[in-house]
Amino acid sequence: MQGFATEFSSAIALILNGDAELWAIVLLSLKVSIFAVLISALIGMPVGAALAVARFPGRRMLIILMNALMGFPPVVVGLLVYLMLSRSGPLGVLELLYTPTAMIIAQVVLVTPIVAALTRQVVEMLAEEYSEQLRSLGVSRLASVPVLLWDARLALVTALLAGFGRAIAEVGAVIIVGGNINHVTRVMTTTIALETSKGNLALALALGAILIGIAVAVNAMVSTLSLRAEKEGLRHA
Amino acid sequence: MIRNVFRAALVSLGLLTGPALAEEPFIVVQSTTSTQNSGLLDYILPWFEAETGIDVRVVAVGTGQAIRNAINGDGDVLLVHAKADEEQFVADGWGVERFDVMYNDFVLVGPKSDPAKVKGGSDIVAALAAVSEAEAPFASRGDDSGTHKAEMRHWKTAGVDPTGASGTWYRETGSGMGATLNVASGMDAYTLTDRATWEAFGNRGNLEVLVEGDPRLFNQYGVILVNPEKHPRVRAAAGQRFIDWLVGPDGQAAIESYQLNGQQLFFPNAN
């Protein structure tokens, strides 16, 4: 194993010595996953909040379904998106297969249930807490959604980070719809899969370490931002 | 906070649309992992791209999956290694015409301890029979790839149906060549691999080449343009240009000149 340790550290050094190709891969991973999380937020937060406050038949079923979808196997999502975007599929004319956009779509499908389910949980708790106040102000249930979302914003950041974690670490879906094409759709996770298949285990592991480093950096950045926002919020209050 | 998020969104939007606007002509080539893992395509494609300005986007999967993707129209050119299936692909109208491109060979690799005592032989069928006789661990691709089809042909010739022993000494990984070599390396199993992937493979452990040189281990690669009559969006002109280059003198010379560890891995043989 000593040989492996040396190999691993030299791989890390190689990577950190400004390999332009690698940084392009890192950047693409970030772009795809950040974009996917933002779109998922736009869809998942309103849906989750609406499910939290609205009362209609089948609501429980929907909530159970949404919670279950948090564990949707990425390979299945990849297959579904592939079948949609294939030239033989219904959306084939868009020519999106094997592009970063296809990878974003797959990640949106994976991340939206997480954002929606966690949003539902947070907002439902807040809605119960404030139900009397909202009722006395004459705010209808659905109209209270924006207020509740705004009040829950710090908890929602955590929901987004959970979604980001799923997106950036995922390989099964993006390798099917992206094709792991060099310089076009190759991201961190598909590079790791490729290097593993070449038997370059030290290099693959070093890339994994970089991926974890990036995830830590993104989480630290977001938590600093939300801490600052919290302090500002207190000052304004 | 919200403003920051929006700013981040706009930045990433800018980054995302940037390269998409300046789009070069490109083709999608459905190919096999051996041409990618061995480094061949990374080596020869820059020549073609410099000469024509056409970007070649390679999707490297098993031959079976590559053919299915091409049938769905999700590729302009097919570059794989299962001649019978390729001819079927053309006969069914999915491809325009098949051209030989290059060849190399398969080898049987296995643990240095060699429990089936096949080392040094050049008869793949006898070697597989010995492996099944010894019930020595054998890792099969099990994924309908070109290599898997070749392996199954040799079992058939040997008169052995290894799938009956699936889960005991015969282990189907259902994965690519590299992943299967990792498995074989981990459990000291025999496996059939194309020589290019083997030469480029970095995690051999106790494995070494045990059987090679059988004419039946010949491994031919072919290239086919996906039929634009079946899929009108196929980039036929650019795809044909790539095929012409690959089987023409420049492409053949490029393939000939590729070496890994001082060894030539692919031998051009276009007509």
Q: pLDDT of B81-111, one tens digit each? A: 999 999 999 999 999 999 999 999 999 999 9
Top-confidence residue, A12 or B20: A12
pLDDT at A134: 84
**What's the confidence (pLDDT) of residue A107?**
98
Cβ density class A2-35: b for 16+ within 10 Å, e for less: eeeeebbeebbeebeeeeeebeebbebbbbbbbb
Q: How far is CA A206 from CA A201, A202, B183, B200, B227, in A?
A: 8, 6, 21, 19, 42
What pLDDT is attached to residue B20?
44
pLDDT, tens digit, for every residue of B123-172? Answer: 999 999 999 999 999 999 999 899 999 999 999 999 999 999 999 999 99
Measured from the Cβ of residue A145, the count of other Cβ atoms closer than 10 Å reads 21
Spell out the CATH class of A19-187: mainly alpha
> pLDDT per residue over A94-133, tens digit each?
999 999 999 999 999 999 999 999 999 999 999 988 888 8
Q: Which residues of A touch B67 (CB under 8 A)?
A: none
Task: Note whether A196 contacts B: Cβ–Cβ < 8 A.
Answer: yes
- For residue B22, pLDDT beyond 50: no
The ipTM is 0.83
Question: Which of A92, A93, A198 has the CB atom closest to B202's CB atom?
Answer: A198
Please give, one letter per residue, the 3-state secondary structure of B57-119: EEEEECHHHHHHHHHCCCCCEEEECCHHHHHHHHHCCCEEEEEEEEEEEEEEEEECCCCCCCC
Q: Mean of the pLDDT values across residues B195-200?
A: 94
- B140 with B173: CB under 8 angstroms? yes
Tell if the CB–CB gap between B179 and A229 is shorter than 8 Å: no
Task: Determine whether the interchain pair B37/A98 forms a contact, defined as Cβ–Cβ distance below 8 Å.
Answer: no
The CA distance from A197 to the nearest CA of chain B, in Å, is 4
Q: What is the pLDDT of residue A2?
A: 56
Spell out which residues of chain B touch residue A11, defining contact as CB-CB under 8 Å.
none
B240 DSSP 8-state letter = H
- Please report the residues numbered 130 through 159 in chain A whose beta carbons come closer than 8 angstroms to any beta carbon of chain B: 153
Of B28, B57, B201, which has the smallest distance from its Cβ to A199's Cβ?
B201
The single-letter code of the amino acid at A149 is L
| Residue % of chain A over a pLDDT of 90 | 62
Flag whether pLDDT at B10 surpasses 80.
no
Segment B135-146, tens digit of pLDDT:
999 999 999 899
Going by pLDDT thresholds of 50, 70 and 90, the confidence category of residue A20 is confident
Q: A16 — contact with chain B (CB < 8 Å)?
A: no
pLDDT at B2 over 70: no
Which of A133-137, A179-183, B21-25 has the lowest average pLDDT?
B21-25
Tell me the average pLDDT of chain B: 92
pLDDT of res. A203: 84
Select the more confidently predicted residue: B113 or A153.
B113
β strands within B141-242, DSSP E: 170-172, 191-194, 207-211, 218-226
Sorting pLDDT into bands at 50, 70 and 90, what band is A233? Answer: low
How far apart are the CA of A72 and the nearest CA of chain B, in angstroms? 21
Return the domain boundaries, chain B: 26-103+220-268, 106-217
Spell out which residues of chain A touch residue B28, defining contact as CB-CB under 8 Å: 98, 179, 181
| Alpha-carbon span B249 to B228, nearest angstrom | 26
Nearest residue in chain A measured CA to CA from B41: A182
Looking at beta carbons, which residues of chain B come within 8 Å of A30? 12
Candidates B2, B3, B5, partner chain A, best to mutate (most A CBs within 10 A)? B5
User: Which CATH number describes the domain made up of B26-103+220-268?
Assistant: 3.40.190.10
User: Considering only alpha carbons, which residue of chain B is nearest residue A97?
Assistant: B74
Name the DSSP class of A1: -
**pLDDT score at B3:** 52
* B223 Cα to chain A: minimum distance (Å): 19
- Residue pair B264/B258 in contact (Cβ under 8 Å)? The answer is yes
Q: Which numeric CATH code is attached to B106-217?
A: 3.40.190.10
Percent with pLDDT over 90 in chain B: 89
Residue A236, exposed/middle/buried by CB under 10 A (0-12, 13-18, 19+)? exposed
Residue B17 pLDDT greater than 90, yes or no: no
For β-strands B138-140 and B55-61, DSSP reports them as unpaired
When pLDDT is averaged across residues B174-201 and rounded to a whole number, the result is 95
> What number is the average pLDDT over the span A157-182?
94
Mean pLDDT to the nearest integer, B47-51: 96
Cα Rg, chain A, nearest whole Å: 21
pLDDT(B18) > 50: no
A123: CB partners within 8 A, 6+ apart: A48, A49, A52, A53, A145, A148, A149, A152
Amino acid at the residue A15: I
Could you give phi then psi for residue A97, rounded to 5 degrees? -60, 145
**Is A234's Cβ below 8 Å from some Cβ in B?**
no
Would the CB atoms of B182 and A199 count as touching at under 8 Å? yes
Span B30-37, average pLDDT: 93
CB contact under 8 A, B182 and A98: no
- Across the interface, which of A35, A95, A199 has its CB nearest the CB of B181? A199
First to last CA, chain A: 58
Q: How close B250 comes to chain A (CA, Å)?
A: 23
Q: Is the pLDDT of residue A25 over 50?
A: yes
Q: What is the mean pLDDT of residues A144-163?
A: 89
**Does B26-103+220-268 match B106-217 in CATH topology?**
yes
Q: What does the domain layout of chain A look like in residue ranges?
A: 19-187
Of A208, A126, A233, A111, nearest to A160 by C-alpha is A111
